[in-house]
Amino acid sequence: MKADYTATELLATVASKVLEDGKSVFVGTGLPMIASMLAQRTHAPNLLIIFEAGGIGPRVPVLPISVGDSRTFHEAAAASTMHDVMSLSQAGYVDYGFLGAAMIDWYGNINTTVIGEHDHPKVRLPGSGGANDVGSFCWRTILLMRQEKRRFLKKVDFITTPGYLTGPGAREKAGLPAGAGPYRVITQLGLYDFDEATKRLKLLAVHPGVTIEQIQDNSEFEILIPDHVGTTEPPTPEERRLLREIDPTGMAIGK
């Protein structure tokens, strides 16, 4: 039976549920914005949203074009600066960092810089922006991305934003805050976390209709599979209505 929701709507609702009420989140452009705005309109009304251009605690009316859009300051607690919000992260005041990625490895290192060699790339990607700072200093990093074998790699071509680097203890050895790092990965196939002992990517739940075989087939490396794997909840009619309210032109959600 055909689902009455789109893959993008499912991604947004699953991602929104990762965010907790009363926490703070440093939000990247696109679906992270939508998921954060949806969380604020549903189960997390006291979620403090932070944008790279300096908006702290806004109640954003509709989806901004970017993190620098003037709407990211709507009803904000502070119209601050990029320096200030980065300093908040470095000082340990931001609970979640919410990012997209082009490539990821099994330790949660992400690449948004180049495909191929850095000095002679096959493709140049947008780069870091504030993503390195967000992934380095926010306590828990959430990643939204498409899952394919060419994106889930044993080793990324370039580490734009650190995950667990080479495994347990590597972040701390590099001088990054102890206890911080990748927390969740959400793709069109499932929801993932990271194994506490090995720091490797581990499946938490599949989306409705997705199999374990599809999970493994769309990754170059072996994803850890626990004994119990859950299934994510599809969007409710009310969540779908709110998503259309957040993104009325279909800029990210689609028509």
Beta bridge partners of 205: 191, 230
Q: SS3 for 185? A: strand
Beta bridge partners of 121: 116
Which two structure tokens, joined as six digits, stand for 90? Answer: 């470095």
User: For 19-125, where are the alpha helices, taking DSSP H only?
Assistant: 31-41, 82-90
d(CA 202, CA 221): 11
Contacts of 196 (CB under 8 A, 6+ apart): none
**Catalytic one of 52, 196, 222, 245:** 52
CA distances in angstroms from 8 to 69, 131, 186, 238, listed in the order given: 22, 22, 11, 16
Q: Work out whether the CA dihedral 247, 248, 251, 253 comes out positive or negative.
A: positive
Residue 161 carries which DSSP code? B
Other residues' Cβ atoms within 10 Å of the Cβ of residue 118: 10
52 is annotated as an active-site residue? yes
d(CA 205, CA 121): 35
172 burial (CB, 10 Å; 0-12 / 13-18 / 19+) is middle
So which residues are the catalytic ones? 52
